[in-house]
Amino acid sequence: MRFPTPLVPARLVRRYNRFLADAVLDDGREITAHCPNPGSMMGLKDPGLRIWLEPNDDPKRKLKWGWRVVELPGGHYSGIDTAVPNRVVKEALNARAIPELAAYSTVRSEVPYRTRSRVDFLLSGSGLSDAYVEVKNVHLRRDGDWAEFPDSVTTRGAKHLGDLAAMAENGHRAVMLYLVQRTDCARLKMAADLDPGYATAFEAAAKAGVEMLCYGTQVTPEEVTLAKRLPVAL
């Protein structure tokens, strides 16, 4: 997934009110950007971080900048836009670039299922059981090369696991796909100390037959693309 508009570097001043961030552009201008991330963004919102913003000239938008990427030590990057993983995964599914799901020929997005739920992707193919695929954005790193999920309490995320578990118990294929949107991680585990309820739901879903997949990404100020599969601690 390429960013449609070239990103512009800046220095983060502060992230506040969940969806707003102040930054200083390289030319000295102070601006307020939209922060498309409702999570805690632990480790990615420290003042002084070099970040990358997407400008827009849409007259309908109040804010003319959107925060997309954080620059990390060692030449690494992290994407912060929680809408990006679904776009990356959709491109990969359509290109049949995810080996575990490459046999499916039809990809549908945001399909209603269960009780007041929508699955991110419903995959179908001739002679195959439909696959219900939920995607989660991951960008927390606290311990070595471990990525962790979630970075704050997510009752909605636990519900998604419960929905997938119910589908698996009823004989359907159910997949939770974690997309690590940063380039300095090599494996994934659940952050049970931050959200014990989600960790419990994760364990229950795995026992019910939900497939737990994790993929890394290549993140740059130009694009975010699918990288290799990463192991998940079950």
* pLDDT top residue among 18 and 53: 53
- Report the CATH number of the 8-79 domain: 2.40.50.580
Which helix (H) or strand (E) is 90 found in, with range?
Answer: helix 84-94
Fold of the domain built from segment(s) 84-229? Trna Endonuclease; Chain: A, domain 1 (3.40.1350)
DSSP state of 222: S
Q: How far apart are CA 178 and CA 157, in angstroms?
A: 12
Q: Domain map of the chain by residue range?
A: 8-79, 84-229
Q: To the nearest whole number, what is the mean pLDDT of the chain?
A: 96
pLDDT at 57 over 90: no
Q: pTM for this one?
A: 0.95
If pLDDT is split at 50, 70 and 90, which confidence band does 89 have?
Answer: very high
